[in-house]
């Protein structure tokens, strides 16, 4: 049994579908029954679990041969760091008690850094907590998801301006489509590789991009001129608070970009295998723009 946490998400759904196409039994773990309806149509067994609830997590991994673990940063939470650390502790405690033969965790570029990297430091904590689990561990470190720009698209279409915390606008950085992460995860779960140390795999898109490239791709997808705008550092927190994030969540993001903009959040080249997705920015932005235009 392949157990996929976060199976209703953009990456997890692709993983579950790929495993089903390969003829593997899949238990799709979701929080709400309605999220599992389309996964059940693929032939997945559906498990309801909350990563903060030890009993439901233990039930979800029972009898698993392989587990894909995804601990998302909780949205709409006044203290997402504390909640996510609880999720990590609950999941890793359950996995230590009932370890599968294979465990893959979706992590983050820069997770190896023992620094205050905001959101990324939570994935540093995840990796640290998982290493004692008696399993063949793969850490799939993902670059920033292209889909993260979706939150900026309505404003960009309305104003013609794309605000950015990435500075400077011409600096290129790693980015990847969520579906490419899901496909890579499925492939890794299907590989039979045994070693005594964690396997570290990094995935990013076919080429590195700048905010200028992102604005150009959004212009192409929308048929409108979208101009990138470098937000001054003092504007970051007010913008995030205005968008509805809590102060704690906003701090995680600003701490992340303070480090990201120095170029230190990248592939751990000395230890990591490299994987590259095939999905380009235009392939992601086209459907997103169409979705917003139809609303």
Residue 198 lies in a domain: yes
Residue 24 lies in a domain: yes
pLDDT at 140: 98
Sorting pLDDT into bands at 50, 70 and 90, what band is 132? very high
Q: What are phi and psi of 2, to 5 degrees?
A: -100, 120
Residue 46 lies in a domain: yes
SS3 per residue for the chain? CEEEECCCCHHHHHHHHHHHHCCCCEEEEECCHHHHHHHHHCCCEEEECCCCCHHHHHHHHCCCCEEEECCCCCCCCCCHHHHHHHHHHHHHHHHHHCCCCEEEEEEECCCCCCCCCCHHHHHHHHHHHHCCCCCEEEEEEECEEHHHHHHHHHHHHHHCEEEECCCCCCCCECEECHHHHHHHHHHHHHCCCCCCCCEEEEEECCCCECHHHHHHHHHHHHCCCCEEEECCHHHHHHHHHHCCCCHHHHHHHHHHHHHHCCCCCCCCCCCCEEEECCCCHHHHHHHHHHHHHCC
Residue 54 lies in a domain: yes
Give me the domain span that covers residue 127.
2-143+177-204+264-277
pLDDT at 292: 84
pLDDT in tens, 231-285: 999 999 999 999 999 999 999 999 999 999 999 999 998 899 999 999 999 999 9
Average per-residue pLDDT in the chain?
Answer: 96
Q: What is the domain-level CATH number for residue 80?
A: 3.40.50.720
Residue 236 lies in a domain: no
- pLDDT-wise least confident of 55-69, 107-121, 169-183, 193-207: 193-207
Predicted TM-score (pTM) of this structure: 0.96
pLDDT of 295 > 80? The answer is no
Task: Provide the domain count of the chain.
Answer: 1
pLDDT at 294: 77
Residue 222 lies in a domain: no
């Amino acid at each position: 049994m392949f157990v996929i946490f976060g199976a209703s998400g953009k990456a997890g759904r692709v993983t579950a579908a790929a495993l089903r196409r390969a003829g593997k039994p899949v238990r799709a773990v979701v929080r709400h029954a309605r999220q599992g309806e389309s996964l059940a149509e693929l032939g997945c067994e559906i498990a309801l679990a909350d990563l903060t609830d030890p009993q439901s997590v233990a039930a979800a991994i029972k009898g698993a041969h392989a587990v894909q673990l995804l601990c998302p940063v909780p949205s709409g939470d006044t203290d997402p760091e504390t909640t996510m650390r609880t999720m990590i502790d609950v999941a890793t405690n359950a996995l230590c008690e009932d370890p599968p033969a294979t465990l893959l965790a979706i992590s983050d570029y820069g997770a190896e850094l023992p620094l205050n990297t905001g959101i990324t430091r939570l994935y540093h904590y995840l990796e640290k907590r998982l290493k004692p689990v008696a399993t063949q561990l793969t850490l799939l470190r993902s670059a920033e998801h292209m889909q993260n720009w979706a939150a900026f698209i309505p404003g960009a279409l309305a104003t013609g301006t794309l605000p950015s915390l990435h500075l400077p606008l011409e600096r290129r950085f790693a980015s990847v489509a969520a579906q490419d992460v899901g496909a890579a995860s499925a492939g890794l779960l299907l590989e039979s590789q045994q070693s005594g140390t964690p396997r570290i795999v990094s995935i990013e898109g076919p080429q590195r991009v700048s905010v200028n490239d992102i604005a150009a791709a959004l212009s192409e997808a929308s048929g409108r001129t979208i101009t990138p705008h470098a937000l001054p550092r003092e504007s970051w927190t007010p913008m995030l608070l205005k968008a509805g994030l809590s102060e704690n969540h906003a701090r995680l993001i600003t701490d992340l970009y303070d480090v990201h903009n120095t170029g230190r959040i990248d592939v751990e080249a000395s230890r990591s295998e490299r994987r590259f997705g095939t999905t380009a920015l235009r392939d992601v932005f086209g459907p997103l723009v169409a979705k917003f235009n139809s609303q």
